[in-house]
Amino acid sequence: MDIQKLVSQLTLEEKASLCSGLDFWRTKPIDRLGIPSVMVSDGPHGLRKQNEQSDHLGINDSLKAVCFPTASATAASFDVETVHEIGLAIGDTCQHEQVSVALGPAVNIKRSPLCGRNFEYFSEDPYLTKELSTSYIKALQSKNIGASIKHFALNNQEHRRMTSDSVVDERTMREIYFPAFEDAVKRAKPWTVMSSYNHINGTYACESHELLTEILRDEWGFDGYVMSDWGATSDRVVCLQAGMDLEMPASGGVNDKRIVKAVQDGKLDEKLLDQAVERILKITYRYLDNAKPDTVWDLEAQHALARRIAADCMVLLKNEDAILPLDESDEIAVIGKFAMQPRYQGGGSSHINSFKTTSLMDVLEGHANVSYAQGYDIESEQPDEALIDEAVKLAGSKKTVIIVAGLPDQFESEGYDRAHLGMPACQNELIARVAAANPNTVVVLYNGSPVEMPWLGSVKAVLEAYLGGQAVGGATKDVLFGDVCPSGRLPESFPQKIEDTPCFLTYGGEKDHAVYNEGVFVGYRYYEKKKIAPLFPFGHGLSYTSFDYSNLSLSASSMNDTDSMTVSVDVKNIGQVAGKEVVQLYVSDKQSTVFRPIRELKGFQKILLAPGESKTVTFVLDKSAFAYWNVQLHDWHVETGEFAIQIGKNSHEMLLEDTVQVQSTVEVPEVYTVNTPFGDLMANPRAKVILAQMGSNMMGMLGTIGQEEQQVGDAAESAVSKDMLQAMLQYAPLRSAVSFSGGQMNFEQLDELLKVLNQ
């Protein structure tokens, strides 16, 4: 298909019409030229395809489909192959249902555990997020279905999400909030990008030329089309000029007319309109030329896949006295409404109309030694004494108790943020009283984000299942009874309390103004720097077996920042059962002159080991493992210095460490001004040489200043110490040379000095 020729045959009005949707989910056709309409649909963890009574919030029903674990759960797998399998499955589903683009993945960083949409996001860590999302996109698009990576960018809260302004510095954007988008664009080449609702530093994301053209296209090389989030468009013409091509959903022709008028009035270059239409049609025909509606969609096979994946994602947070795995022959009480009616996905636009669901009680049905009590209701937070009394009585008569608890739909959803980290009061009360009646209590959590656990010290085990998809009940049984050895790891820190979180003081913002004062210190980067112990650290997760680490080896003890190095470590299963281990590699800059985290995740691999089996795990580290974003260079930069290569069980517990000396090949120019302190000047060997070359008068100047300050010190020894005098000289700005030189120096001479120093 010759797209440019096709565009040349379109009228101005037709071109404008192609830049907005036909309805909620379809692009516009141009029947005259045989341009068809294609469909896009929500799809981060399963297809949500609506035909009649369409909406973008999940209010109306969609076709029956398979709900896989949400991103909060799949991120806990720490496994690129897991998300790859989901991408392949959703790709087959979209081909079968003739959907051209699946809207996802959502890769916004979890700035705060209060964000109502965190269940749809992967992690607080940009490295983990980018590796998982890139794998998912590659898999989905291998089926010739487009991904729409979202929400670009800094969509980190639901509160006032359509008007809020994310106020963020350049380095924080580049190090924390951009990497998942950048890596995906460069390595996975998503067909589309969805711009976010919010402002970024005063400009709507969909109106930002810097964001959508200068960074996304010119710098990163994105070659697909940019669509708006649903209803995000403010000024349609400005959006088009910025690089936002497709407005969704339909605008009833209102914004199409604005585009036409802007072109006619000379306010919009028609070449920009042509460019947007070309981008949209290129993706449209990329799908149409590879459409395979006869693709087999096996719902039962995908349900089985969803169960296997959910089990692989579950995180064993606590296992006192090795109470897990359970023995099916034991007398067991199962308590909690979620055990009968599981909460397995979040609310809003990603809500899947599951073709079936499997609860824990579904898979335990028929076991004579398993008894059930509801324990709590989800319509009210208040404890129901009758339900609790029934549960306590049952718990007291059994060897072991399983309580299935978590967050109801109204506690976390798209559209609004959580008010606190607590679970419903009825559930906390139930857990506390049941644990008092039976110390062998195991808690299973179905939730999309961290919760406080006031009862943690009273229960023997806690299994974090997150929102595990429609087969979560079967997966829960598999892990609890040892059919699957747990191998999930937390993709986010669980704080002790909300006041401990990095952005507690500013999250949500003042009206529409949300300032990211915590900078790069998000999640574990903050807790490690502040030495604040979270409830559970990033990367934490227990197993039914044990692993031994040894022989950490670095291929080099020194390297240039243009080189790469290989890191290897041996891992052995020293337990009695087969299990998967997540090997986590962190890098720590030991001599940084800028504020940097204590350590950052720069590698992870999940491996399966039989009892007694060993494997050597290998990582390759390049410049990206050591660099920070330098705001002077507007680029990634590595400072010369020593870096620690650490292998950890989680972000806090390091097992092995070695060091490498990294030499920077890029010199950051020092810019001196009249306000540069003398200490900074004299710390630069080149500056000292220049001063010496300029003669004894200049070097004597520094001595004169020091002598005058010493005289002050001699006259008032009790008030002025030697250390104080040294500090005053060290931090005095260069302009003070004029004030203290007794006429030996003027500003013209100082300007000449600065010219030489800054050459």
Active-site positions read 229
SS (H, E, C) 98-137: CCCEEECCECCCCCCCCCCCHHHCCCCCHHHHHHHHHHHH
Closest by CA position to 106, among listed 139, 145, 149, 70: 149
As given in the structure block, the two tokens for residue 169 are 């510095």
- The answer to whether the CB of 34 falls within 8 A of the CB of 5 is no
- Are 246 and 275 a contacting pair, CB within 8 Å? no
HSE-up of residue 634 (Cα within 13 Å, Cβ side): 2
Strand order in the sheet with 441-446: 315-319, 461-464, 441-446, 400-406, 332-335, 370-373
Distance CA 748, CA 310 (A): 72
Among 400, 387, 386, CA closest to 442? 400
Contact indicator for 377, 337 with CB cutoff of 8 Å:
yes
587 beta partners: 600, 645
Judged on CB neighbours under 10 Å (0-12, 13-18, 19+), 752 is exposed
Task: With beta carbons less than 8 A apart as the criterion, state whether 435 and 460 touch.
Answer: no
Alpha carbon distance, N-terminus to C-terminus of the chain: 55
| Rounded Cα gap, residues 644 and 640, in angstroms | 13
Q: At what angle do helices 254-264 and 270-288 cross, to 10 degrees?
A: 140
- 236 vs 250: CA distance, rounded Å: 12
| 174/755 Cα distance (integer angstroms) | 32
- Three-class SS state of 207: helix
CA distance 28 to 37: 5
| Cα angle value 584/589/592 (rounded, 5°) | 160
Cα 156 to Cα 172: distance, rounded to the nearest angstrom: 13
3-state DSSP helix/strand/coil % of the chain, to nearest 5: 35, 20, 45
Q: Which of 578, 556, 756, 572 is nearest to 660 (CA)?
A: 556
Run of H or E residues at 514: strand 513-515
Tell me the sheet residues that pair with 402. 334, 442
The token duo for 367 is 């076991």
246, two tokens: 């497709």
SS3 sequence, 231-276?
A: CCCCCHHHHHHHCCCEECCCCCCHHHHHHHHHHHCCCCCHHHHHHH
Separation CA 200–CA 514 (nearest Å): 10
Query: 581: which strand partners?
Result: 607
Both tokens of 14, joined, read: 């037709």
Nearest to 25 by CA among 16, 38, 36, 44: 38
SS3 35: strand
Residues 136, 105 contacting (CB under 8 angstroms): yes
